[in-house]
Amino acid sequence: MKRIIAICGAMCALASQGFAAERTENVYERMAARESEPHFKERMAESAQRLEEFAWMLGEWRTTITVFATKSTPASTTEENTTFRKFGDTLIADERLSTIMGYDPFVGRWLLAGFELPAVPLTHAYSDWNGRRMTVELPVRIGGEVFRIRQTFSRLGADEFELFNEQLLADGKFHPVDRYRYRRAAAPAH
């Protein structure tokens, strides 16, 4: 029970859009009371069940990061390895926590979150997944300044997916910023 509340608490902290009214019950008291509600346990279990939709994402990936050219900066490409793991029964995250995914059964949507301190303290947004793609649009604080970013997560095949980031500029259009292309790393030799 404590692990479930800790996970729910972390997810709520990431996703909070404000604070609930002051309560007379402690969070543990309230969750204990909710366990007797019809369908509460099923709803709690739904997060783990829905996470299976992303089981293909677990493991080692070779990542190609392309930063697109601008008027004043050249394009660049780098490569690195990325590992996605399952944490508990409700979250998938990379080793740097720059990408965290989980399903919020009480909202009925996927939660994407991440942070890369000190440049990007925290981002989070809800989205829908159709089995191939999800898109989020949100303000992101980078280096102390706020930018409007649209991120599209696309599954390109059994062993390939990408995160494509665009930024809203003064012309009212989204412009490509960077692309993270993930290709499944070869299975380790035994």
pLDDT interval class at 4 (50, 70, 90): very low
Residue 186 has pLDDT above 90, yes or no: no
pTM exceeds 0.85 = no
Residue 189 has pLDDT above 60, yes or no: no
CA separation for the pair 163, 149 (Å, rounded): 12
For residue 21, the Cα-to-chain-centroid distance in whole angstroms is: 27
Helices (H) and strands (E) in the chain, counts: 3, 10
SS3 85: strand
pLDDT of residue 121: 80
Q: Which residues on adjacent β-strands are paired with residue 152?
A: 135, 164
Radius of gyration of the chain (CA): 19
User: Over the chain, what is the mean pLDDT?
Assistant: 86
How confident is the model over 117-148, as pLDDT tens digits?
A: 777 888 889 999 999 999 999 999 988 899 99
pLDDT of residue 68: 98
CA separation for the pair 72, 38 (Å, rounded): 59
CA separation for the pair 28, 12 (Å, rounded): 15
Give the total residue count for the chain: 190
pLDDT of residue 10: 45
Domains and CATH numbers, the chain: 2-184 (2.40.128)
pLDDT of residue 76: 98
More confident residue, 178 or 190: 178
How confident is the model over 95-117, as pLDDT tens digits?
A: 888 889 999 999 999 999 887 77
Which token pair is 125?
């947004």
